[in-house]
C-alpha cells in the first residue's frame, strides 16, 4: 500500500511536469514571429505597411551585419548629446503610413514625449532595400528604423538651464574674488614701506 501511494505521487508529478512543458511550448510558439522563421516572407512592399512600432531597445534587421538601433536621435534643440537630455527621448514610437506623394511615403509618428518637446521636421523612417540593385520599393522585413530630431516646442526652464546657471554663477564668483585678491595684493605691495636695503 505504501509503495502504491508513492508510485501515484510520482505519476502525478510527472504528469504536472509534462503539462507545464507543453504549455510553455505553446506559449513560445504563439510568441514567435512567423516572418523570421519563414525566409520567403522577408520581402515586403514598403507602401503596403500601414504602421511601424519602434523601441529604444530594439534593433533593426540587416543582412550587412548587426542591425542598428530602431530609435536614433540625430539632432534638434532637445537632443544635445548629453546625459541629461536623454530624459526627453521616447521609449516607444509608432509611425503610421498616411499616404503617398508620388515620390515617398508620408509617415505620421507619435511617441510618449515629455511635455514641451516635439519631433522635428527631419524625422524619417529608413528601411533596408531587399535588393540593392533594384529600386522597386521592396524592403527587408524588420529592417526599418526611425531617425528623428527632437525640439523644444517653447522655451521653458529645465534641469539643463539650472545646471548652466549654477556653473555661470560659480564662474563669476570665482573671477570676482580672484580679481579682488589680485588688486589687494598689488595695493599692499605698493603701500608697503621700503627698507634701507631696498634703496
122-131, 154-163, 176-185: range with highest mean pLDDT: 122-131
Q: Which residues of 6-35 are buried (b: 16+ CB within 10 A; e: fewer)?
A: eeeeeeeeeeeeeeeeeeeeeeeeeeeeee
* The pLDDT value given to residue 39: 46
Domain containing 48: what range?
40-152
45-93 confidence digits (pLDDT tens)? 999 999 999 999 999 999 887 789 999 998 888 776 555 567 788 899 9
The answer to whether residue 11 sits within a structural domain is no
* The pLDDT value given to residue 40: 56
* The pLDDT value given to residue 32: 30
* The pLDDT value given to residue 29: 30
CB 73 within 8 A of CB 148: yes
| Domain identity same for 52 and 147 | yes
| Domain identity same for 159 and 147 | no
* The pLDDT value given to residue 50: 94
CB 58 within 8 A of CB 92: no
CB 92 within 8 A of CB 55: yes
Three-state DSSP at 143 gives coil
The answer to whether residue 14 sits within a structural domain is no
* Total tally of structural domains belonging to the chain: 2
| Better-scored residue on pLDDT, 55 or 14 | 55
Residue corresponding to grid cell 511617441? 111
Of 143, 144, 149, nearest to 90 by C-alpha is 149
* The pLDDT value given to residue 49: 93
| Domain identity same for 147 and 159 | no
* The pLDDT value given to residue 152: 84
CA–CA distance from 95 to each of 49, 125, 129, 142, 180 (Å)?
10, 8, 19, 14, 59
The answer to whether residue 27 sits within a structural domain is no
Tell me the average pLDDT across 137-162. Answer: 82
pTM of this prediction? 0.57
Amino acid at each position: 500500500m505504501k509503495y502504491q501511494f508513492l508510485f501515484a505521487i510520482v505519476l502525478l508529478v510527472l504528469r504536472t511536469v509534462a503539462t507545464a512543458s507543453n504549455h510553455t511550448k505553446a506559449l513560445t510558439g504563439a510568441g514567435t514571429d512567423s516572418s523570421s522563421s519563414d525566409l520567403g516572407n522577408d520581402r515586403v512592399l514598403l507602401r503596403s505597411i500601414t504602421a511601424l512600432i519602434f523601441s529604444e531597445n530594439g534593433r533593426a534587421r540587416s543582412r550587412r551585419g548587426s542591425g542598428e538601433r530602431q530609435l536614433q536621435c540625430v539632432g534638434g534643440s532637445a537632443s544635445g548629446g548629453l546625459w541629461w537630455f536623454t530624459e526627453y527621448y521616447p521609449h516607444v514610437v509608432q509611425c503610421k503610413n498616411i499616404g503617398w506623394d508620388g515620390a515617398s511615403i508620408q509617415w505620421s509618428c507619435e511617441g510618449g514625449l515629455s511635455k514641451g518637446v516635439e519631433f522635428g521636421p527631419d524625422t524619417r523612417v529608413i528601411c533596408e532595400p531587399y535588393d540593392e540593385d533594384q529600386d522597386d520599393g521592396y524592403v527587408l522585413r524588420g529592417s526599418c528604423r526611425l531617425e528623428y530630431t527632437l525640439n523644444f516646442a517653447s522655451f521653458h526652464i529645465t534641469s539643463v538651464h539650472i545646471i548652466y546657471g549654477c556653473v555661470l554663477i560659480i564662474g563669476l564668483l570665482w573671477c570676482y574674488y580672484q580679481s579682488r585678491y589680485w588688486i589687494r595684493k598689488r595695493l599692499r605691495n605698493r603701500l608697503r614701506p621700503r627698507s634701507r636695503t631696498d634703496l
